[in-house]
Structure 1
Amino acid sequence: MSAVIEVAADQAPPDSPAPSRRRRRSRGIDRPPVWQVVLGVLIAGYLVLPALIVIPMSFDGGITFQFPPTKPSLSQYVTFFTDPVWLTSLGNSLLVAVISAAVATCVGTAAALGLHRLAGRLAGLARTVLMISLVTPAIVIAVAVYISFLQWHLVGTLLGYVLAHAAIGVPFVLVSVTAALSGFDARLLRASASLGAGPTRTFLSVTLPLISRGIITGAIFAFVTSFDEVVIALFLRSPLFQTLPVQMYNSVTAEIDPTISAASSIVIVVATIIVLLPQLIRRPAARRPPK
Structure 2
Amino acid sequence: MKFSRILLWIFTVVVAVWMVAPSLVVIPLSFTSQKSLAFPPVGFSGQWYENFFTDPAWLGGLANSLQLGLMVAVVATILGTVAAYGLMKMSGFAKAASNNFLLLPMLVPGVIFAIGVYALFLRLGLVGTWPGFLLAHTVLAIPFVVISVSSVLASYDVQLERAAWISGAGKVKAFLTVTLPMIRPGVLAGFLFAFITSFDEVIVSLFISNAYLQTLPVRMFSSLQREIDPTIAAAATIIMLITTSVALFAMIARAKRSTSHD
TM score, norm. by length of structure 1: 0.84
Contact 2:193 2:250 in 1 (8 A): no
Q: Does 1:235 align with 2:207?
A: yes
Q: 1:47 to 1:269 in 2, by over 3 A?
A: same
Match of 2:95 among 111, 123, 146: 123
Q: Does 1:257 align with 2:257?
A: no
- Find the counterpart in structure 2 of residue 42 from structure 1: 14
Tell me, what secondary structure is at the counterpart of 1:33?
Answer: helix
Gaps of 5+ in 2: none
Match of 2:48 among 49, 58, 76: 76
Q: Does 1:109 align with 2:81?
A: yes
Amino acid at match of 1:125: A
Task: Provide the rounded CA distance (Å) in 2 between the counterparts of 1:179 and 1:128.
Answer: 15
Q: Does 1:247 align with 2:257?
A: no
TM score, norm. by length of structure 2: 0.93
Tell me, what secondary structure is at the counterpart of 1:222?
Answer: helix
Q: 1:284 to 1:163 in 2, by over 3 A?
A: closer
Q: Determine what percentage of the aligned residue pairs are the same residue.
A: 40
Q: 1:36 to 1:100 in 2, by over 3 A?
A: same
Amino acid at match of 1:87: L
Within a 5 Å distance, the mapping from 1:262-281 to structure 2 comes to: 262-279=234-251
Amino acid at match of 1:250: S
Contact 2:220 2:235 in 1 (8 A): yes
Amino acid at match of 1:276: L
Match of 2:127 among 139, 147, 155: 155
Task: Provide the rounded CA distance (Å) in 1 between the counterparts of 2:107 and 2:218.
Answer: 23
Amino acid at match of 1:73: S
Write out per-residue CA displacement over residues 173-206 of structure 1, whole angstroms, 9 at most, x where no aligned residue. 0111110000111111111112111222211111
- Per the TM alignment, residue 35 of structure 1 is displaced from its structure 2 partner at its CA by 2.6
- Per the TM alignment, residue 36 of structure 1 is displaced from its structure 2 partner at its CA by 1.9
Q: 1:32 to 1:177 in 2, by over 3 A?
A: farther
Count of aligned positions: 258
Q: Does 1:90 align with 2:23?
A: no
Match of 1:184 among 152, 156, 168: 156
Match of 1:61 among 30, 33, 39: 33
**Structure (1 or 2) with the greater helix fraction:** 2
Deviates more, 1:154-163 or 1:94-103: 94-103
Amino acid at match of 2:48: Q
Task: Provide the rounded CA distance (Å) in 2 between the counterparts of 1:180 and 1:41.
Answer: 30
Gaps of 5+ in 1: 1-29
Q: Which has the higher contact order (CA 8 A, sep 6+)?
A: 2
Tell me, what secondary structure is at the counterpart of 1:238?
Answer: coil
Larger radius of gyration: 1
